[in-house]
Amino acid sequence: MRLGANTYVGGALVGLALSVAILAPWIALYDPVMDANLMNAELPPSREFPFGTDAQGRDIFSRIVYGSRISLTVGIVSQMCNSLIGVTLGLTAGFWGGWWDDLVSGLTNLMLAIPSLVFALAIMAILGPGLLSLVIALGLTAWSYSCRIARAQVLSLKSQGYIQAARILGYGDLRIMFTQVLPNILGPLIVIATLGMGGAILSEAALSFLGLGIRPPFPSWGSMLSEARDTIRSAPWLSVFPGLAIFFTVLGLNLLGDGLRDVLDPQSTTRRA
């Protein structure tokens, strides 16, 4: 099966972001927090400071490099939480049906009716800013997509012959769900998870921009944009480079998700054939 260009480009961008996050101590030119010098405040990009400096004289390149750790951590961990909640609810609701299916479907519709960022704002207002609060807020508010996809896939599979054969062999419901059904619906769920990571990174940037995310002086792409909004005309590099980091990371995740959808979706495979 041939991979499309989207998969290669998206995989390259995501791989680059992951490499930067892992190798941050060796890539960064300066300490993103401690190496502050007001004598170097708001210097434009140069050989010494490739992306310029901020109002405290800190190297923007180094802060973006270390900020990739925060953004990717939030995106990956929060989406893992969303996938765990959504897949568990969707799998059980579609398989068992009845009142449990009605309850999960109603809760899912409620979550879809109100933007997840609104729920995240409410949770952050209660828990306060911080990395852990951010992961909790984003990890509890975007599971509805995974839930709906999992439920729909289970409804189409639970009447298949191999499910009936597993029942005849004496398999319990949980064993059938997690050994027979779940492996056959992983394709769409992987795509949703990949796209969800990009959404989580954007949400983290939005919350940090509003002052509800990562606390200064720790580097976060969203908080860097928030700090740069008053100097967007006099020092545009303060906002351009964090914005580009967010753009290319989210673009890579979306392209990778789109490419995986083409590979894992049987209907798209049939169309290409």
State pLDDT tens for residues 206-235: 888 887 877 777 888 888 888 888 888 888
The pLDDT, as a whole number, for residue 33 is 84
Separation of alpha carbons 216 and 63, rounded Å: 12
Bridge partners, 53 (sequence order):
59
Separation of alpha carbons 147 and 88, rounded Å: 8
Place of tokens 């609060």: 133
The predicted model scores a pTM of 0.84
More confident residue, 169 or 271: 169
Separation of alpha carbons 269 and 263, rounded Å: 7
Separation of alpha carbons 94 and 237, rounded Å: 50
Separation of alpha carbons 152 and 96, rounded Å: 13
Lowest-confidence pick of 14-23, 90-99, 210-219, 258-267:
258-267
The pLDDT, as a whole number, for residue 270 is 41
Class of domain 5-272: mainly alpha
The pLDDT, as a whole number, for residue 130 is 83
